[in-house]
Each structure stands twice: as C-alpha cells, then as structure tokens.
Amino acid sequence: MRWVPFAILAYLVIVLQCSLGQMLTFEISAIGSIGPDLAAVAALFIALHARRAADALLAAWVLGFALDLSSASGPGGVTAVGPMALAYVLAAGAVYKIREALFAERVLTRAVIGVIFCLLAHLPWVTLQTILAHNVMTWQAYGARLLQAMAISAYTGVVTPVFYPLLDRVRKWLLSVPAERPGRRR
C-alpha cells in the first residue's frame, strides 16, 4: 500500500463526503437524513484490493476516524470519536476475509457488498452511540436510527457502482502490487 497517495485519497473522500455527499442527501420525515457514505465505498475498495489484511484494516480505520472527526458535533456537542473507525475495521476485515468468494468485477456484486459493508459498519456504530447516550435515547429512537442506518446502507449500495470505477482508475497509485488470490495463476 502506498500511504501518501492513500492519505490524499482519504482527504479527498472526506471532502467529497462533506460536500457532494451533502448535496446527495435527502430527508425522509419518518427516518431522517439519508445520504451516501462515500468513505465506505473507498474503504470497501481498499478491502477488496489490498495485498495484506493489515493494509486494508489500517486504511479502513483511517477513513472511519476521519469520518468520525468530520461528523463530530463541535463545541458543546456530544459525539464519541472512534466508534465509526472501529466499525469500519470490522466491516473491512469481514470483506477482506470473503473477497476470494466474490466476483468483484460485477456491478451487482459491488452494490450488494457495498450494502453489506455499510450494514456491518453502521449497525454497530448506531448501537454503540445509543449505549453511550443511554440517558437521552429511547428504544423507539434506537429503532429509528437503525432504520436510518439501513437506508443509508441501501443508498450507499446504489452509488457504489458509480464511484467504484473512479477509484479503480487510481488503483495503480494506491496499491503497490495487486492482490493475489489463492488458487489462481496468471
């Protein structure tokens, strides 16, 4: 993994998440704000193509931590920084383990694995945020947050095939050597 280009990519992804992601966000009265998680698309891409598990997990942690920092409430607000980073590591680890069984070149597979990645990242994050805010959260609010996380995951799955080819164009600058899949010869 080439870390300087990755740091630039992570910065650009967070800027896109805060700008373009906000433009693609819409409001559903029963659920709340629904927008794509572009950092999850980047973490998914790295998890599918990284040569080593440590590279995939560290890259996912960096993207999750940057997302945590960009969505912190600011002065006077209460937001735990770190749970999204750990949730991204969990999701990236799961995707890294099953990537040999996937046909990642197919658009539908990318969309489905994007949904799965986001569910694996957002559901534990929502649960942890609810536990940390146990004084103000109710079961009804927790259910609404879970529903919102599922909608965000579905939306991210829809946009994953759109943003994935853009990341594929910079793969040679990010990854030093392409990942080898066991049992395949070139």
Do the strands 32-34 and 26-28 form a parallel or antiparallel pair, or are they unpaired? antiparallel
- The band of 142, judged by pLDDT with boundaries at 50, 70 and 90, is confident
Asked if 114 and 156 touch (Cβ cutoff 8 Å), the reply is: yes
Q: Which of 58-62, 65-69, 178-182 is predicted with the least confidence, judged by mean pLDDT? A: 178-182
Asked if residue 183 belongs to a domain, the reply is no
Asked if residue 123 belongs to a domain, the reply is yes
Cβ-in-10-Å burial (0-12, 13-18, 19+) of 185 comes to exposed
Asked if residue 186 belongs to a domain, the reply is no
Question: 75 pLDDT exceeds 50?
Answer: no
In this prediction, residue 102 carries a pLDDT of 83
Structural domains in the chain (count) = 1
Asked if residue 185 belongs to a domain, the reply is no
Biggest CA–CA distance in the chain, Å, is 57
Averaged pLDDT score across all residues of the chain:
88
- The band of 72, judged by pLDDT with boundaries at 50, 70 and 90, is low
The secondary element (H helix, E strand) that includes residue 27 is strand 26-28
Higher pLDDT, 165 or 129: 165
Please provide the DSSP assignment of 121-177 as one string: HHHHHHHHHHHHTTTT--HHHHHHHHHHHHHHHHHHHHHHHHHHHHHHHTHHHH-SS
Percent of the chain with pLDDT over 70: 90
Asked if residue 14 belongs to a domain, the reply is yes
Asked if residue 181 belongs to a domain, the reply is no
Asked if 83 and 128 touch (Cβ cutoff 8 Å), the reply is: yes
Write out pLDDT tens, residues 82-123.
Answer: 889 999 999 999 999 999 888 778 899 999 999 999 999 999
Report the C-alpha gap between 14 and 7 in whole angstroms. Answer: 11
Asked if residue 29 belongs to a domain, the reply is no
Higher pLDDT, 31 or 114: 114
Write out pLDDT tens, residues 146-182.
Answer: 999 999 999 999 999 999 999 999 998 888 765 555 5
Range of the domain at 140: 3-24+35-174
Q: Which pTM was predicted?
A: 0.87
